[in-house]
Chain A
């Protein structure tokens, strides 16, 4: 089931190239492997120069590492994207309504649709948020929904990320790199731009201005600091939006109002896009030993003087034990049929589920209910007998910590793997912005498992990224175009400029 040969190949179907990939196929044929490999080296030099690196904790070696970038783009047809986009909007709306509900009237619990204890006794549930309604009733302003594809028509949500989803800077930088490295290939496709993401993000954050903010909201990004693996992204987004990136020590709270320390004295802050985890936000409310947070910021939030995006406690909506109930939420809050499918999920704390998981562990993916980054995961079909025994022991010991899902045959796309072009498994993380309206930049971040046969796409586990293209349906102009273009660079230049500027 997990052999690459049997997974859905996004480029080919029944021996023929799928229409969306026609331009790529012609381009791959026209350019030798050597040319691609040299472009790959160019891309790497580009990323390193610009400083797009991420930190890897405690492994020694180069502390500032690059996430491998694959130069062959991953393509979605506009019609495919439109369907996904509707499903994503629906799902994130329901997730936000769920949070407003469980921190408010708790109607879904009263209706018996989700076990009360699963929510209220969940580690991710934040009792301090009870009875407080953030501006607009929005908890997850920035959501990353991880999708996998198994077929021409089947996309599944693998997990929701409602706290501080990262990686969007790669989505943006990957596109910039492609426009720079392959201007004619880009211009031969009718390619949906992504570069307006930062503007959308700023709009979304301004939409979240607290009730006591009069006039233009002052927005900042709160970062744990430059030791954080996503620090580059925090700075990148701040720069793109033209706002400050602040650390906890740059802020202080006086009379429930949050101020930045500036060279001109204190300056009020209205909206904080915080990339600091809940636990570390405010030592007065959460972990008392936190050096990253701002004492008193939670009180300022509840007083309506500052908005924290995403809201503390948003993790309840992306908890893996809550995940199986998302389709139920969509029906309950929106009265709609879910457009995106959930992967069937077994909660090991349920006796019936646990028995099934233990009996079928060799076929399942077992995950920590509260893990992330691909750590603490067992992929049954790829596991050894010892690993299975180890996970069996762990599940029996702490059943509530584990969930299991069938091993999905993640789709593949062609990658420049070593010295050849070979299929590799991918997933997709679109970024959904929720303010006064829902905004989604077409595409998202495609993560690719660069090891042959691997299903783990996390960057901490040897994953890489690709540019994700949403292209308009209909015949691409690639075939004739790619030939005339190698001579005429003018057109491609103007196109790539207008796109990066847009």
Chain B
């Protein structure tokens, strides 16, 4: 497969997943902002919520360049629509479709239609998407479109290199997102702020954002506990958006790519193996004792390193 084609497929997967993840993050923040006062949290609480969302999305520096203050309204516009934010939902959809269009023939008709219809509808929705009454519906729509794309890919794509690169992009992006999301809530999961009504609401929102609130109950049959929430999102194989699940897929996909490209292996396989090792051997009580934030920061850095290695071996021209 052409490196350029693989690059486009990989980024198409990443951007589609990213659009859905930004929507998930915004839903959490919206929920927290809505609950803020009733929980008796400090009045700056909601703004804090939006700030941590910006940090989780890696969008803070860009936002600061154009805004004086972090307000809900400004963050919502920035993350959903702002053309100046390369990672806004609108730009992710544009980029996913642009990548898909550049390798149109590597996609099935179903995948292309999912991408193209999303892009067309996005243009129609954009003018009103961030109105308070419309925003929740819009965010649901974004998540649903990401599901549709993933479903179209999973159900129709030939299981060759093309599929592997799309899937690699989706899984790496998802792993990255779960790590960032967790990190943005690390204070509610360990340390002095990890109890009380506000923390409880944070755990709930966090689980909801990865569609895992019910899953928690099914697995643990207990009230929410921060250490268990962290464990679920980091190292439970059963949860498809947990770090360990995503990285297991990344590792398997990279093995598949090595096989498909004549057995050539390199840094991507090595780094993916090391990450998976770290996750498998990890012990949540120890991680919490040593500091969740530091552990997650290291995790996010390794993700970035893995991304660079994938580029160097397969995608650069």
* Chain A residues engaging chain B, CB cutoff 8 angstroms: 49-51, 226, 232, 235-236, 238-239, 244-247, 249-250, 260-265
Closest to A267 in B: B2
22 A–B pairs (Cβ distance < 8 Å), ordered by A: A49-B113, A51-B101, A51-B112, A226-B102, A235-B104, A235-B105, A238-B105, A239-B104, A239-B105, A245-B105, A247-B4, A249-B317, A261-B4, A261-B317, A262-B261, A263-B2, A263-B6, A263-B165, A263-B314, A264-B1, A264-B260, A265-B262
Contacts of B4 in A (CB 8 A): 246-247, 249-250, 261
Q: Is the CB of B2 within 8 A of A246?
A: yes
Q: Do the beta carbons of B2 and A262 come within 8 Å of each other?
A: yes
For A239, give the chain B residue with the smallest CB separation: B105
Question: A263–B105 contact, CB under 8 A?
Answer: no
List B residues at the A interface (Cβ < 8 Å): 1-6, 101-102, 104-105, 109, 112-113, 116, 161, 165, 257, 260-262, 264, 314-315, 317
Contact check, B264 vs A261: say whether CB atoms are below 8 A apart. Answer: no
Asked, given contacts A239-B105, A249-B4, whether A49 binds B261 with beta carbons under 8 Å apart, the answer is no
User: Do residues A236 and B105 form an inter-chain contact, with CB atoms below 8 A?
Assistant: yes
* Contact assessment for A51 and B104 in the assembled complex, using a CB-CB cutoff below 8 Å: yes
Q: Which residues of A contact B264 (CB under 8 A)?
A: 264-265
Nearest B-chain residue to A234, judged by Cβ: B105
Chain B residue nearest to A225 (CB atoms) is B102
Residues in chain B near residue A245, CB distance under 8 A: 105
* Contact partners of A262 in chain B: CB under 8 A: 1-3, 261
- Closest Cβ neighbor of A50 among chain B residues: B109
A264 touches B262 (CB 8 A): yes
Say yes or no: B104 contacts A263, CB within 8 Å: no
A265 to B102, CA, bound (A): 21
Given contacts A249-B317, A264-B264, contact A244 B104 (CB under 8 A): no
Smallest CB–CB gap between B261 and chain A, Å? 4
A residues near B161, Cβ cutoff 8 Å: 263
Q: Please state if A261 and B113 are interface contacts (CB–CB under 8 Å).
A: no
Known contacts A49-B116, A246-B2, A247-B4: A263-B101 contact under CB 8 Å: no
Contact assessment for A263 and B317 in the assembled complex, using a CB-CB cutoff below 8 Å: no
Is there contact, CB below 8 Å, between A263 and B257? yes
B206 to chain A, nearest CB (A): 36
Q: Contacts A263-B6, A263-B161, A263-B165 given; 18 further ones with Cβ under 8 A?
A: A49-B113, A50-B109, A51-B104, A51-B116, A226-B101, A226-B102, A232-B104, A239-B105, A245-B105, A246-B2, A261-B4, A262-B1, A263-B1, A263-B257, A263-B260, A263-B315, A264-B260, A265-B261
CB distance from B264 to the nearest CB of A (A): 7
- B152 to nearest A CB, angstroms? 14
User: Taking the nearest CB of chain B, how far is it from the CB of A195, in angstroms?
Assistant: 17
Give the residue among A232, A244, A264 with the most B Cβ atoms within 10 A. Answer: A264
Q: Is the CB of A261 within 8 A of B3?
A: yes
Interface centre among A51, A232, A246, A250 (most CB of B within 10 A): A51
Complex Cα gap A498–B241 (Å): 45
Shortest C-beta distance, A48 to chain B (Å), equals 9
Max chain A Cβ within 10 angstroms of own Cβ: one of B2, B116, B264: B2
Q: Contact at A260–B105, with CB atoms within 8 Å?
A: no
Q: Identify which of A247, A263, A264 gathers the most chain B CB atoms within 10 Å of its CB.
A: A263
Given contacts A235-B105, A238-B105, contact A250 B261 (CB under 8 A): no
How close is B171's CB to chain A, nearest CB, in angstroms? Answer: 17
Q: How far is the CA of A256 from the CA of B264 in the complex (A)?
A: 26
Q: How far is the CB of A113 from chain B (nearest CB, A)?
A: 45
Distance in Å from the Cβ of B2 to the closest Cβ of chain A? 5
Closest 8 CB pairs of A and B: A264-B261, A239-B105, A235-B105, A263-B314, A261-B3, A263-B6, A261-B317, A235-B104
Contacts of B113 on A, CB cut-off 8 Å?
A: 49
**Closest A residue, CB atoms, query B116:** A51
Of B2, B6, B109, B165, which is within 8 A of A260 by CB? Answer: B2
Query: Which residues of the other chain, B, contact A235 by a CB distance below 8 angstroms?
Result: 104-105
Is the beta-carbon distance between A250 and B2 smaller than 8 angstroms?
A: yes
Pairwise interchain contact B2-A261, C-beta atoms closer than 8 A: yes
Complex Cα distance, B109 from A250, in Å, reads 25
Q: What's the nearest-Cβ distance from chain A to residue B69, in Å?
A: 37
Q: Which residues of the partner chain B approach A50 to less than 8 Å between Cβ atoms? A: 109
- A49 neighbours in B (Cβ, 8 Å): 113, 116
Q: In the complex the two chains form, what is the Cα distance from A238 to B106 in whole Å?
A: 10
Distance between Cα atoms of A50 and B108 in the complex (Å): 10
Write the chain A residue with the least CB distance to B109: A50
- Of chain A, the residue at the smallest CB distance from B315 is A263
- Report how far A226 CA is from B161 CA in the complex, Å: 22
Closest to B164 in A: A263
Bound Cα distance from A265 to B265, whole angstroms: 12
A46 to chain B, nearest CB (A): 11
CB distance from B4 to the nearest CB of A (A): 5
Q: What are the residues of chain A within 8 A of B262 when measuring CB–CB?
A: 264-265
Interface centre among B104, B261, B262 (most CB of A within 10 A): B104
In the docked arrangement, what's the CA distance between A236 and B104, Å? Answer: 9
Residues of B within 8 A of A247 (CB): 4
The reply to whether A263 and B261 form a contact with Cβ atoms under 8 Å apart is yes
Task: Tell me the bound Cα distance from A232 to B104 in angstroms.
Answer: 8
| A244 near B2: Cβ-Cβ < 8 Å | yes
Q: How far is the CB of A219 from chain B (nearest CB, A)?
A: 14
What are the residues of chain A within 8 A of B109 when measuring CB–CB?
50
A249: B residues at CB distance < 8 A: 4, 317
Chain A residue nearest to B313 in the complex (CB): A263
CB distance from A75 to the nearest CB of B (A): 30
Chain B contacts for A226, CB-based, 8 A: 101-102
Tell me, rounded to whole Å, the shortest Cβ–Cβ distance linking B123 to chain A.
Answer: 11
Q: Report chain A residues within 8 Å CB of B315.
A: 263
Among residues of B, the one whose C-beta sits closest to the C-beta of A226 is B102
**A62 CB to nearest chain B CB (Å):** 11
Most buried by A among B3, B6, B116, B261: B3
Give every chain B residue within 8 A of A264 (Cβ-Cβ): 1, 260-262, 264
Chain A CB count within 10 A is highest, among B101, B112, B257, B315, for B101
B contact residues around A265 at 8 Å (CB): 261-262, 264
Distance A238 CA – B317 CA, assembled complex (angstroms): 21
B117 to chain A, nearest CB (A): 8
CA distance A244 to B6 in the complex (A): 12
B11 to chain A, nearest CB (A): 14
A107 to chain B, nearest CB (A): 43
B40 to chain A, nearest CB (A): 52
A414 CA / B116 CA spacing, docked (Å): 34
Tell me, rounded to whole Å, the shortest Cβ–Cβ distance linking A337 to chain B. 44
Question: In the complex, what distance in Å separates the CA atom of A261 from the CA atom of B315?
Answer: 9
Min CB gap B278→A, angstroms: 27
Contacts of B105 in A (CB 8 A): 235-236, 238-239, 245
Nearest A residue (CB) for B261 = A264
Residues of B within 8 A of A261 (CB): 2-4, 317
In the docked arrangement, what's the CA distance between A244 and B116, Å? 22
A247 and B1 alpha carbons, distance in the complex (Å): 13
